[in-house]
Chain A
Amino acid sequence: MEVVISTDKLTKKFGDFVATNEITFEVAKGEIFGFLGANGAGKTTAMRMLCGLLKPSYGSASVAGFDIEKQTEQVKQNIGYMSQKFSLYEDLTVKENFRFYGGVYKLKRQVIDQRLNEMLGNLGMLNVENSLVASLPLGWKQKLAFSLAMLHRPKIVFLDEPTGGVDPITRRQFWDLIYEAAHNGVTIFVTTHYMDEAEYCDRVSIMVDGVIKALDTPENLRKQFETDSMDGVFQLLARGTSTK
């Protein structure tokens, strides 16, 4: 098993407040890794450190084999990112968006156009190439944003609550995209609020107050906490109560 993300006592303090407290975990290549926790549990802080946006207070981590503190540039070349807030510019067309981000990652124009074509073909959205992003429905934009995050063929994609505000059917379709990417060897690191989505992950970690309280496959977690859903597991850990 090839490890693509590994952290060792990764810690971030903001003054006296410890946002993430000595978290240690590993993620394997092609894995869909669910990163769960209530708001303020430290998910975003951890993710921002892994993306090279925040420096850890102490502890270390490597992403795609590169140290997040010392080799930030290489880390950035190898990761993709998508958040619930849109990463696409509404006043640019789909093609212009892709060409812009492709340019940022120093891809050649032919390469960008070819990959864009391929991706739109897979999504069945070839005709939107020259439409302004603002004119597209939310679900389409989300799929495009995911494709955009994959444009430079990153080894790892970080998804920060990617399906917020989307209807269940589109969410399902979105997860098909995630599966496909994982099948092709891309590692998916995803945070979510939806417990049904947690079930789709290969492994799930649950953070409470800056600490990883549980980390295992959804099945094992359900067994361990003697409940029949991830929601139950989450309630037990995050709120200390059971819904049952």
Chain B
Amino acid sequence: MKTFLAFVKKEFFHILRDRRTLLILFGMPIAQILIFGFALNNEINNAGLVVLNRAGDYESKQLLAKFQNSTYFNLQDPVFTEAAIEQAFKDNRAKVALIIPLDFGKNMQAGNEQLRIIGDATDPNQAQTLVNYAKAIIADYLQQKQNTNTQLPITTAQPRMLFNPELKAVYQFVPGVMGLILLLVSAMMTSLTIAKEKELGTMELLLISPLKPFHIILGKVAPYWVLSFLNAVIIIILGVFVFGMPVNGSVPLLLLVTLIFSFASLALGIFISSKANSQLVAMFLSMFGLLLPTLLLSGFIFPIENMPLPLRIISNIVPARWFIELIKGIMIKGSPLSLLIKPFLVLCFITVVLTIAGIKGIKTRLS
């Protein structure tokens, strides 16, 4: 125990005296969450909208006022020909166009209004989103009208987005960034510090000392475990207080899952360091071996459901995938463990496998 404490103390000296390490440990997570939070936002606000209003009647103006009031659209100067719409798309004044037919108000009374929405599909996702926003605004308006007129009882489907009614992107990226950062910080930092000892030759001395390899690994891992856990807490706090992320589920469960995932990441780091003899190699391995799969295959950026089958299969062994699923379930849906048992067990299983692989990797190097 005393040797262990001496070791941990030494590790903390290393961490605290190296400004770069500190920056990566604490600067990176905060910067990432803020960047993802403010910049990489897939909600679209103030998109340009041009209107070709052939009707120009009271109803059409009411509808446009509704568009004007939404934060999604920014009404541009009206156009008078369809050619002008294309021109507006080309010079980027607008992303969406709305054509209101001649007899808009009259037709609406009759229940067969013919509006046309045109999206600039240069960016297909964005166009889809904007068209949907526009549709929603129109539907909302029509419904209002029908209620006030109370003419025909019309059946309409009322969509309701459960757990995230405002479709906030934060809900998607806070768990994603958490997974990414924990993995990077834990795996990269541990593999780097072990590779560093090898590079400097201090590893030899540790191995010759009465310390057992297991102690060395534990001593290396413990400080980073504490730090990455601290990191996770910072990210959660930022998510909650800066971006309004809810924590609907059990906080202890959330922390437990975080602890397990950081342990899996640390084990990955140890496994990497058993293969890498220099800091450079360790850095590359953790960057390309971990960063890309986590970013692309964890469901953080691209939905797993949309992936071709081989990628979907591979995504099963990406620990971040299960972690993100768990975090989303706990924070957003408030699900209890009993409903999250599958991702939980898979994550535990991956963690155990990685730990065994890590310890084996170190041992084979020593014999």
Measured CB to CB, the residues of A under 8 A from B are 51-55, 73, 76-77, 79, 81-92, 96, 99-106, 158
Contacts and interface: CB of A to CB of B under 8 A. Distances in A.
B204 A106 contact: no
Interface residues of B, number: 24
Interface of B: 2-3, 5-7, 9-10, 13-14, 17-18, 200-202, 204-211, 366-367
Given A83-B201, A91-B13, A91-B17, A100 B6 contact: yes
Given A77-B210, A103-B3, 13 more contacts: A53-B204, A53-B207, A76-B209, A84-B201, A85-B201, A86-B200, A86-B201, A89-B14, A90-B200, A91-B13, A103-B6, A104-B7, A104-B209
Nearest to B198: A85
Contacts of B7: 100, 103-104
Nearest to A99: B6
Nearest to B201: A85
B14 A53 contact: no
Contacts, number: 76
Nearest to A93: B13
Contacts of A158: 208
Contacts of A82: 205
Contact of A86 (B6, B202, B209): B202
Nearest to A148: B205
A100 B9 contact: yes
B366 A53 contact: yes
B143 to A, nearest CB: 67
Contacts of B211: 104
A103 B208 contact: no
For B10, B201, B207, which residue has the most chain A Cβ atoms within 10 angstroms? B10
Closest 8 CB pairs of A and B: A103-B6, A85-B201, A87-B205, A81-B208, A100-B10, A76-B210, A91-B17, A104-B209
Contact of A85 (B18, B200, B367): B200
